[in-house]
A and B are shown apart, each in its own frame.
Chain A
Amino acid sequence: DTGVSQDPRHKITKRGQNVTFRCDPISEHNRLYWYRQTLGQGPEFLTYFQNEAQLEKSRLLSDRFSAERPKGSFSTLEIQRTEQGDSAMYLCASSFVTGTGTQYFGPGTRLLVL
Chain B
Amino acid sequence: TQLLEQSPQFLSIQEGENLTVYCNSSSVFSSLQWYRQEPGEGPVLLVTVVTGGEVKKLKRLTFQFGDARKDSSLHITAAQPGDTGLYLCAALYGNNRLAFGKGNQVVVIP
Interface centre among B4, B43, B88, B95 (most CB of A within 10 A): B43
Instruction: Determine whether the beta carbon of A31 is less than 8 Å from that of B96.
Output: yes
Do B92 and A91 touch (CB < 8 A)?
no
Total residues of chain B contacting the partner, CB 8 A: 27
Q: A41-B102, A42-B90, A102-B48 are in contact. Are A56 and B97 (CB under 8 A)?
A: yes
A-contacting residues, B59-102, CB 8 Å: 88, 90, 92-102
Q: B31 to chain A: which residues have CB within 8 Å?
A: 100-102
Q: Which residues of B contact A (CB under 8 A)?
A: 4, 30-31, 33, 35, 40-45, 48, 50, 88, 90, 92-103
B-binding residues in A (CB < 8 A): 4, 6, 31, 33, 35, 40-45, 48, 55-56, 58, 89, 91, 93, 100-108, 110
